Amino acid sequence: MKIVDAQVHIWSQTVTPPSGLHRKVSKFTAEECLKEMDEAGVAAALIHPPYSWDPTSNQLALDAAKKYPDRFAVMGQFPLNDPDSHKRIAGWRNQPGMMGLRWALLQPAEQQWLNDGLLDWVWPAAEKEGIPVATMGGIFPDKFRAIAEAHPNLKLIVDHCGLNRHGQDEEAFIHLDKLVALGKLPNVAVKATGAPHYSTQGYPFRNIQDGLHRIFDAFGPKRFFWGTDITRMQCSYRQCVTFFTEELPWLKGRDLEDVMGRGLCEWIGWKLKFE
């Protein structure tokens, strides 16, 4: 089974990543990432440039995808508050290795852009260009749903299981009903990335398995993508893998193969070879 990680970060220009629990190291290179992937049995990974702490990370990711085209692809970004960014979206996927766009929109000021119209141009432009867009839609589910409904041909991805990023255990699932309802929209998928973070229990994180099952049932194996965000995980890379491949009794066979990589690649148009 080919395993593809739906989210990793690499960077080269910081000492202490300010974002959450990410490793406080000055760099995490493509080669370091590949070493950990190989040890965990992961064939390929989708790089999300951590632009907030390394402004050069978009090019770093593209360089990695060019050097290792069968191992890396990119969900890139550009500054949304830069007027010149309007010009960048046309032909975005013509960059070798570039699959789509991703903005976390974690900060209150960034979320305000959703309400004041600053981002109104992004969604129709991405829809027209056929560019998948990922964001932390779980922290603004109502606005996310409105965008998805208004742009039915725009492929949208909800980051990090769509859960409450500030909560763990039961608190992580406080918006689960709204997330599950999004599953009825065929243009919305979920990255089941960073799942272990949502549990205060040790491996195999039994207290979040039922919640993940509800998300899987709502979106199905073609729109539910395994991944790690490995530089933020409290468990090993291999445990991130086996949590899904060995510990979830409801995830088997072809469904498991889709969740572990095939579904993601089909959704974003990454033409990796699968058996």
- The pLDDT tens digits of the residues spanning 2-15 come to 999 999 999 998 76
The reported pLDDT for the residue numbered 15 is 67
The reported pLDDT for the residue numbered 22 is 84
Give the number of other CB atoms < 10 A from CB of residue 246.
12
Nearest to 42 by CA among 189, 184, 207, 227: 227
Question: How far apart, in Å, are the Cα atoms of 203 and each of 42, 81, 169, 235, 252?
Answer: 19, 41, 13, 8, 19
Strand partners, 234: none
The reported pLDDT for the residue numbered 19 is 63
Contact 225, 192 (CB under 8 A): yes
Low-confidence stretches of the chain (pLDDT beneath 50)? none
The reported pLDDT for the residue numbered 81 is 85
pTM: 0.96
Sorted by where each starts, the structural domains of the chain and their CATH numbers stand as 4-268 (3.20.20.140)
The β-bridge relationship of strands 44-47 and 72-76 is parallel
The reported pLDDT for the residue numbered 83 is 84
Inter-axis angle of helices 237-245 and 30-40, to 10 degrees?
40
